[in-house]
Amino acid sequence: MPHYLYQWRYKDPSIQAMVETLQDRPEEFAKAVGAFGGRVHAFFFAFGDYDGVAIVEFPDNESCAACSLTLSGAGGNALLKTTSLLTSREGQEAMRRARVASHGYRPPQGYASHG
């Protein structure tokens, strides 16, 4: 099954609610992921640009998108970012395919830098 990286930032009222009443956010997150046939591999709180990150897997992109819509639609997050992940085998296969592909792609040419 495909793997995904979720990164999120909570809204201030959500953070205040977690401070006032301790909550098992990984368990709640796993409920949402499981409802779409997914599995949580890792859940972490973080500091920096995001308040939390998780590695999850879903049967397909549509299941991941449906879960993302559910999480975003619940209203507790200020931001939810989803990144599709490749296994090393999938990455190597992509590199192999790029190497052997017949294409006519050319990079942009003929303009001066503006700086």
pLDDT tens for 92-114 read 999 999 999 988 888 888 766 66
Domains of the chain, by residue range, sit at 3-86
3-state secondary structure 12-57: HHHHHHHHHCCCCHHHHHHHHHHCCCCEEEEEEECCCCCCEEEEEE
Nearest of 98, 50, 54, 37 to residue 78 by alpha carbon? 50
pLDDT in tens, 16-37: 999 999 999 999 999 999 999 9
Give CA–CA dist 113/115, Å, rounded: 6
- Beta-bridge partner residues of 44: 53
Q: Is the pTM of this model over 0.75?
A: yes
CATH 3.40.605.10 fits 3-86, yes or no: no
